[in-house]
């Protein structure tokens, strides 16, 4: 009795929508890990795995944020700038001697305002999301530059050691906190997306905004929520970045918005909206991190890493397209 229940739960888990691509890329991820493990036996050491997980954390966070936006059929190009803002604002405040936790709160508020602005521009003002967030991307980077007078900050200092441990250096159960934070955020947001009314509204808005509206969904509110979620994730990623280097750097998070798109689409989130699950984004981010880490280990220069990652993005989406059109062909012949 118990086993049948168990198998049906597994079956339900595997057969949920969007799982196909996730399974495919998970297999890819495993193969990748094995290959790197063979090339370099150091790959599977505790130390490397712990580092790898910590390395993945920011990508996972921004990927989750971007996935929310993509599922509603929109895009957020300001993610990287919000990471930069978060890093610079928090670092500047801390170097000025403000309590690190108060600095975190202030940073969070600033970033969420940015997300709110994105949401309002896209929903209420009906700007194309690409243009609206291109604008806020530039503004956000400008803010990151201006907060410390167009200089990177000095070290955030001894007083902020607790902050650095909490967001980056400290370990809980043998794993770095950065990873735990990312996973907890993922877990909560995954619950929000898959189990709550807001989550359903997000999918419905991306699937057919007219039908969603005519079903009583407040689509404007839904769009504002996803941009706030994206800004929240970016903010946390920025705090992790700040905690990792111990300084604020103005170009922190540059191009992250596109890495976020990459993590999302590798994991099966469609840029057209309406489809995709956050489990895929985790795998997408993991592939991203494993490639960076593994190729670095294998001694590949940055240029090669970029090329390989670019190819992976294209191939993973191409694979999905081929699988889908393959299905159509099978139907045609049989």
Partner 1 sequence: MTEKQCLVKMTGITKEFPGVKALNQVDFDLYSGEVVALLGENGAGKSTLMKVLSGIYEKDSGELEIFGQKIKDWDAGKAKDAGIAIIHQELNMCVHLSVAENIFLGREIVKKDGRLDNAAMNEQTKVILSQLNIDLDPAETVDKLSISKQQMVEIAKALSQNAKVLIMDEPTSALTSKEIDELFKIIRKLKNDGIGIVYISHRLEELKHIVDRVVIMRDGCYITQMPFAEERMDEMISNMVGHEIKEKYPKVHCQRGKKILEVKNLNAGPMVRDINFDLYEGEIVGIAGLMGAGRTETTRAIFGADHKDSGHIILDGKEVTIRNTEDAIRAGIVLAPEDRKKDGLCTRLSVRDNMALPNLDMICNNFGVVNRKQEKELVDHAIASLKIKLAGPEVDAGSLSGGNQQKIVVGKWLARNSRVVMFDEPTRGIDVAAKVEIYNLMNELKKNKIGVLFVSSEMPEVMGMSDRILVMCDGRITGEFMADEATQDELLTRATQFENKMNV
Give the binding site for partner 1 (CB under 8 A).
Answer: 15-17, 195-198, 200-201, 203-204, 207-208, 210-218, 274-275, 330-334
Which is closer to partner 1, CB of 40 or CB of 271? 271
Cβ 195 to partner 1, closest distance in Å? 6
Q: Is 305 exposed, middle or buried (0-12, 13-18, 19+ CB in 10 A)?
A: middle
Burial (Cβ within 10 Å: 0-12, 13-18, ≥19) of residue 129 = buried
* Residue with Cβ nearer partner 1 (9 or 109): 9
For residue 215, the minimal CB distance to partner 1 (Å) is 4
What are the two backbone dihedrals, phi and then psi, of residue 98, each rounded to the nearest 5 degrees?
Answer: -80, 145
Could you tell me the CA-to-CA distances from 147 to 84, 142, 174, 300 in Å, in that order? 11, 9, 36, 36
Nearer to partner 1, 17 or 124 (CB): 17
Residues whose CB is less than 8 angstroms from the CB of residue 101 and which lie 6 or more positions away in sequence, other chains included: 163
- In the complex, the smallest distance separating the C-beta of residue 205 from partner 1, rounded to whole angstroms, is 9
Nearest residue (CB) to partner 1, 10 versus 159: 10
Strand, coil or helix: what is 172? strand
Nearer to partner 1, 173 or 328 (CB): 328
Shortest separation between residue 279's beta carbon and partner 1, angstroms: 17
Residue 129 Cβ, how far from partner 1 at the closest point, in Å? Answer: 19
- Give the residues across from 176 on adjacent strands: 171
Strand-pair partners of 193:
none
């Amino acid at each position: 009795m118990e086993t049948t229940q168990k198998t049906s739960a597994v079956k339900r888990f595997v057969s949920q929508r969007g799982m196909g691509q996730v399974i495919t890329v998970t297999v890819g991820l495993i193969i990748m890990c094995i290959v790197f493990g063979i090339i370099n036996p150091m790959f599977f050491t505790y130390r490397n795995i712990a580092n790898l997980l910590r390395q993945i954390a920011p990508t996972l966070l921004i990927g989750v944020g971007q996935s929310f936006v993509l599922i509603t059929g929109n895009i957020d190009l300001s993610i990287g700038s919000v990471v930069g803002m978060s890093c610079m604002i928090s670092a500047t405040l801390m170097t000025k001697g403000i309590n690190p936790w108060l600095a975190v709160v202030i940073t969070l508020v600033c970033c969420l305002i940015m997300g709110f602005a994105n949401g309002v521009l896209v929903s209420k003002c009906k700007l194309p999301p690409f243009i609206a967030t291109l604008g806020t991307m530039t503004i956000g980077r400008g803010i990151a530059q201006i907060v410390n007078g167009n200089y990177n900050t000095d070290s955030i200092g001894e007083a902020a050691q607790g902050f650095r441990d909490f967001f980056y250096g400290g370990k809980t159960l043998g794993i770095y906190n950065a990873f735990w934070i990312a996973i907890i955020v993922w877990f909560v947001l995954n619950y929000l997306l898959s189990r709550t009314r807001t989550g359903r509204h997000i999918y419905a808005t991306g699937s057919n905004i007219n039908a969603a509206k005519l079903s009583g969904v407040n689509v404007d509110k839904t769009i504002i929520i996803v941009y706030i979620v994206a800004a929240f994730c970016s903010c946390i990623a920025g705090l992790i970045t700040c905690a990792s280097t111990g300084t604020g750097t103005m170009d922190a998070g540059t191009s992250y918005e596109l890495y976020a798109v990459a993590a999302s689409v590798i994991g099966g989130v469609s840029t057209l909206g309406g489809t995709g699950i956050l489990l895929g984004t985790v795998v997408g981010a993991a592939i991203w991190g494993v490639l960076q880490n593994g190729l670095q280990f294998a001694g590949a220069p940055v240029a090669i890493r970029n090329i390989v990652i670019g190819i992976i993005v294209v191939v993973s989406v191409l694979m999905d397209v081929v699988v889908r059109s393959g299905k159509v062909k099978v139907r045609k012949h049989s």
